[in-house]
Amino acid sequence: MIAERWPGVPVTWSRRVTAAGHAWHYLDNAEAIPAGTRPRGTVLAVHGNPTWSFLWRHVLAEAAGYGWRVVAVDQLEMGFSERTGALHRLADRVRQLGEFTDSVGLSGPDWDGRGVVTLGHDWGGIVSAGWALDHPRELAGLALTNTAVHQPPGHAVPVLLRLVRHRRLHEGATTRTPAFLETTLALSRGMSGPVRAAYRAPYRSAVERNGIGGFVEDIPATPSHPSRAELDRIAEGLTTLDVPALVMWGPQDPVFYERYFRDLMGRLPHADVHRFDGAGHLLPEDADVAGTLVAWLDRRVGRAEQAQATGGAPGEDRDGPATPYRPVWSALTELGAPGTTSADRTAVVALGATGASELSWGDLDRRVRHLALGLADSGVRAGHRVALLVPPGIDLTTALFACLRLGAVVVVADAGLGLRGLSRAVRSAAPDHIIGIEKALAAAQVLRWPGQKFVVVPTAHQVGYTPPRTAHRRRRTIGISGSLRELLARGVALAERDAALPPAPGPEDEAAVLFTSGSTGPAKGVVYTHRGLAGMRDVVSSTYGLSPDRAFVAGFAPFALLGTATGATSVTPAMDVTAPATLTATALADAVAAVDARAVFASPSALANVVRTARDLTEDRRRTLGLVELFLSAGAPITSEQLARATEVMPHADLHTPYGMTEVLPVTDVSLEEIEAAEAEAVTGSVRGAGGGACVGRPVRGARVRLVPLTQDGAATGEPTTEPGVTGEILVSAPHLKDRYDRRWATEAHSTTWPGWHRTGDVGHLDGAGRLWVEGRLAHVLRTAAGVLTPVAAENAALTVPGVVRAAVVGVGPAGSQQVAVVVETDPAVHRGARARGSLAPEGLSRAVRHACGDIGVPVAAVLRVPEIPTDVRHNSKVDRPRVALWAERLLSGDRAGAP
């Protein structure tokens, strides 16, 4: 065992050197790099205040295995470096760091020619950036964690720093007592006692803490501060750097606010960015900074042969035959052109509890143009980000297409994420403008979301309606710059003066940041170009026959906007779109009748409620639903039995369900008849690989699917394959694939392990007929003593038990020997006690579930019943398996766990 002086730090990493007459302490992992291996480069890691080089212990350990030397220095007066008693200004610290690197051969005459990547946190970020500017010959890259390189005039320094700088508190909080140190350590989540002790080790006395007070005193809070000139030099110099750069950020930082992050983005526009949701100021303690940095070094700064190492894209060229590019707003301008027969035809209809609103194609085209002119006149420019916090309907459709036509980047996050999730999404996207209903703008003001604000006042029958006078009365209170109505009026006036719109954006320009549902972790922003959005529209149109000749009901929000882009008339039913299960059979029938719709798009939870409320249908409404030709269940997996229930209300509809995600929609498509045929083949064994999950069909036009096989421990490794029956992580490629994840560099890097392909995080397999079967999420795979077990097939088996309406298959116990637990939700009309507190299932129900799962070879250790299985917020359909698993683990260990 290697002796450790501090947790995770071998004694042999601790080094000392004298530079320019001062004694320095530093950590160096050179001895941990595999013997005989020449280091690929060096990371110069610089801590901030009041930490020391121990902050970078995970980076030292991780990087060594990949051939990167890491030198983590203790700045003078800090850590275990010399205490001189002097106050060191920022310029002094930058110069001193250069003297240190000269002494250890990272710069100066003894430099060996291998590049240096700087890494800094807090004050170390500024100091390391100064070193980077002063050493262009040695510099190979720059990485920063939470820091600030500029203090805007007129803005106070952060509250915590302002407090400790107060003359009555400064010395007592920073030097005489460890208050500042302890407060900083308290900012990290779950720091262990030994780790806290290690951070405290160099700062036991007031003399040892003198440097902590000196750093605080040197904060250049005013233009006249002695260190302001050096801070300004560094801030301006960063704008000239053209080396690879990485910014890693913890958004929950009470010291460095979002404005400091946005400032860094402005100075390093080429930087790769990764925001760690939930992490804060001490980012290296809260998040996987080490793994992210090493992956980035490998891709951006490392081997020239990296492209060869990744193996390239598995298979043929990604895009296939080129599809002519048509902007997403083309249907509006073509169908709404003055003098055309289509200009007076209905384009969009929104239904509410008290009425309807609608626009013709001509009206919609004019409205989009007028709003675009009004927005441009109000400062919205190409490339600006505009968050749209508006319920689906005419206002959202107008705002979306107006922004796209201007070249602004729309940011769309679902209100179903909840206030906390929505706030996290909006802040991460950092919009320049917000268009939203008053409720959303009030939240934006309280939560300090960035961006100029424009209010949308819905009409009286729409959800979220607020009388106009209320919005205007509160305009100053919540910082509203204008209203949608005012922008439209301004646009009309400009159009009458023949004002021209700015040039249209190009196909490769950014078009949208669309946030995922948050059902598998914090919602992620997915960036699409205009070509990507147009490709999604084209695939949806060709797959489902959407066109000006086929009107449809949009009970699933994404298809409302895509459908309008195809030129199809759409109607939004009277429902709460953030809760799909609020769609009733009556509301659906009324929506179909409003536009003589022949297609319906809805989520599984919406379908379930439509079937439940079918008893309320009048005969006229039943006849109306009988006219539907296509029903599409989108947004979450659905069994053939659940899909078949749509025939109870839409008896003549062709029933389909696609497979896709925010990152690429759709990937595959399948009809009910095809699912039933595939399931029959699984029973007979006539097609290799049929069965064992949910059949989602064959890839749509232009899409391709591969599988990355699973190992015995549940990891997806090896070469992608199309071999039938091989279970693995689903890998997809398509012309309408996302451009990237927004400010999630590590997530994007993992997603594109094979360039041009997307790792979905789902697991499944292909059968011999080329159909894809989805078996669950990679993160939800059970690791039992008999090997890996995917959950969907067993869940579907449990759903065949009469009265079981939802099921979750989870693992309990340690990985490698997990036992299978099936948690079910039952129908109160079938099972007595269905709404009782969660517990072991009654004997009869338990026996039936075990038997159903046993028929497909899944041994069940426990069957539990809960009144309601938790699902995702957007679709009300995707089971939250991690949450259920934690609850089951607690219950089976004897804890009265309550509800999952």
**Phi/psi of residue 783, nearest 5 degrees:** -115, 95
Q: Which residue has the higher pLDDT, 119 or 302?
A: 119
Per residue in 644-699, pLDDT (tens digit) is 999 999 999 999 999 999 999 999 999 999 999 999 999 999 999 999 999 999 99
Number of other CB atoms surrounding residue 505 within 10 Å: 20
Q: What is the mean pLDDT of residues 296-325?
A: 58
What is the Cα–Cα distance from 489 to 2, expressed in whole angstroms?
A: 73
In our burial notation (b when 16+ CB lie closer than 10 A, e otherwise), range 692-704 reads bbbbbbbbbebbb
Is 399 strand, coil or helix?
Answer: helix
In the predicted model, what is the mean pLDDT of the chain? 90
End-to-end CA distance of the chain: 42
**What one-letter code names the amino acid at 399?**
A
What integer pLDDT is reported at residue 2 of this predicted model? 52
Cα 152 → chain centroid:
30
What integer pLDDT is reported at residue 318 of this predicted model? 43
In the block, residue with structure tokens 């147009």: 534
Q: What is the mean pLDDT of residues 730-753?
A: 96
What integer pLDDT is reported at residue 220 of this predicted model? 87
What integer pLDDT is reported at residue 462 of this predicted model? 45
Q: What is the mean pLDDT of residues 22-44?
A: 93
In the block, residue with structure tokens 């159909």: 771
What is the Cα–Cα distance from 255 to 708, expressed in whole angstroms?
A: 42
Per residue in 321-361, pLDDT (tens digit) is 456 899 999 999 999 999 999 999 999 998 886 678 899 99
Q: What is the mean pLDDT of residues 368-379?
A: 97
Per residue in 476-522, pLDDT (tens digit) is 778 899 999 999 999 999 999 999 999 999 999 999 999 987 766 78
What integer pLDDT is reported at residue 96 of this predicted model? 98
- pLDDT for residue 3 is more than 70: no
Number of other CB atoms surrounding residue 338 within 10 Å: 8
Residue 447 — pLDDT band, cuts 50, 70, 90? confident
Per residue in 552-569, pLDDT (tens digit) is 998 877 777 888 999 999
| Domains, in order of start, for the chain | 4-153+224-301 (3.40.50.1820), 336-655 (3.40.50.12780), 663-780 (2.30.38.10), 782-892 (3.30.300.30)
What are the structure tokens assigned to 860, written together?
Answer: 């069940």
What is the Cα–Cα distance from 646 to 593, expressed in whole angstroms?
A: 18
What is the Cα–Cα distance from 97 to 73, expressed in whole angstroms?
A: 9
- Cβ atoms of 406 and 370 within 8 Å: the answer is no
Least confident of 12-16, 48-52, 536-540, 832-836: 832-836
What integer pLDDT is reported at residue 848 of this predicted model? 97
- Cβ atoms of 558 and 663 within 8 Å: the answer is no
Residue 460 — pLDDT band, cuts 50, 70, 90? very low
What are the structure tokens assigned to 345, written together?
Answer: 């035809």
Q: Which residues contact 157 (CB under 8 A, 6 or more apart)?
A: 151, 165, 219, 221
Q: Which of 849, 806, 848 is nearest to 827 (CA)?
A: 806
643 exposure class (CB count in 10 Å sphere: 0-12, 13-18, 19+): buried
Q: What is the DSSP letter of 13?
A: G
What integer pLDDT is reported at residue 472 of this predicted model? 53
Q: Interior CA angle at 199 toward 132 and 92, to 5°?
A: 35
What integer pLDDT is reported at residue 877 of this predicted model? 58
**Phi/psi of residue 412, nearest 5 degrees:** -120, 115
**Phi/psi of residue 75, nearest 5 degrees:** -65, 155
In the block, residue with structure tokens 């194609």: 361
**Phi/psi of residue 4, nearest 5 degrees:** -120, 135
Number of other CB atoms surrounding residue 843 within 10 Å: 9
What integer pLDDT is reported at residue 519 of this predicted model? 65
What is the Cα–Cα distance from 879 to 887, expressed in whole angstroms?
A: 13
What integer pLDDT is reported at residue 188 of this predicted model? 92
Share of the chain above pLDDT 90, in %: 74
Q: Which of 626, 515, 603 is nearest to 555 (CA)?
A: 603
- pLDDT for residue 466 is more than 60: no
What are the structure tokens assigned to 436, written together?
Answer: 């939203």
Per residue in 612-639, pLDDT (tens digit) is 999 999 999 999 999 999 999 987 778 8
Number of other CB atoms surrounding residue 225 within 10 Å: 17
What phi-psi label fits residue 473: left (phi over 0), alpha (psi between -120 and 50 degrees) or beta? alpha
Enumerate the β-bridge partners of residue 46. Answer: 73, 120
Share of the chain above pLDDT 70, in %: 92
Q: What is the mean pLDDT of residues 459-465?
A: 44
Q: Which of 128, 166, 163 is nearest to 42 (CA)?
A: 128
Residue 416 — pLDDT band, cuts 50, 70, 90? confident
Percentages of the chain per state (helix, strand, coil), in multiples of 5: 35, 20, 40
- Cβ atoms of 682 and 692 within 8 Å: the answer is yes
Per residue in 205-252, pLDDT (tens digit) is 999 999 999 999 898 888 889 999 999 999 999 999 999 999 999 999
156 exposure class (CB count in 10 Å sphere: 0-12, 13-18, 19+): exposed
Q: Which residues contact 381 (CB under 8 A, 6 or more apart)?
A: 406, 407, 408, 502
Q: Which residues contact 150 (CB under 8 A, 6 or more apart)?
A: 231, 232, 235, 260, 263, 267
Number of other CB atoms surrounding residue 363 within 10 Å: 18
In the block, residue with structure tokens 């890691």: 45
What integer pLDDT is reported at residue 322 of this predicted model? 57
Q: Write out 489-553 in H/E/C secondary structure.
A: HHHHHHHHCCCCCCCCCCCCCEEEEEECCCCCCCCCEEEEEHHHHHHHHHHHHHHHCCECCECEE
Q: What is the DSSP string of 239-306?
A: TT--S-EEEEE-SB-SSS-HHHHHHHHHH-TT-EEEE-TT-BSSHHHHS-HHHHHHHHIIIIIS-TTH
Q: What's the chain's length in residues?
A: 900
Is 144 strand, coil or helix?
Answer: strand
Cis check: omega of the bond before 666, within 30 degrees of 0: yes
Least confident of 149-158, 725-734, 836-845: 149-158
Q: Which residue has the higher pLDDT, 140 or 34?
A: 140
Residue 170 — pLDDT band, cuts 50, 70, 90? low
What integer pLDDT is reported at residue 279 of this predicted model? 94
Helices 123-134 and 90-103: crossing angle, nearest 10°? 60
- pLDDT for residue 473 is more than 60: no
Q: What is the mean pLDDT of residues 849-867?
A: 95
Q: What is the DSSP letter of 687?
A: S
- Cβ atoms of 591 and 649 within 8 Å: the answer is no
Q: Which of 486, 526, 494, 521 is nearest to 510 (CA)?
A: 526
What are the structure tokens assigned to 686, written together?
Answer: 């006539």
Least confident of 59-73, 112-126, 880-894: 880-894
Q: What is the mean pLDDT of residues 49-69?
A: 96
In the block, residue with structure tokens 């299985």: 869
What integer pLDDT is reported at residue 536 of this predicted model? 95
What integer pLDDT is reported at residue 162 of this predicted model? 62
- Cβ atoms of 79 and 48 within 8 Å: the answer is no
What integer pLDDT is reported at residue 49 of this predicted model? 95
Q: Which of 210, 195, 215, 199 is nearest to 255 (CA)?
A: 215
Q: Which of 696, 662, 726, 883 is nearest to 796 (CA)?
A: 696
> In angstroms, what CA-CA distances link 683 with 100, 690, 740?
71, 8, 41
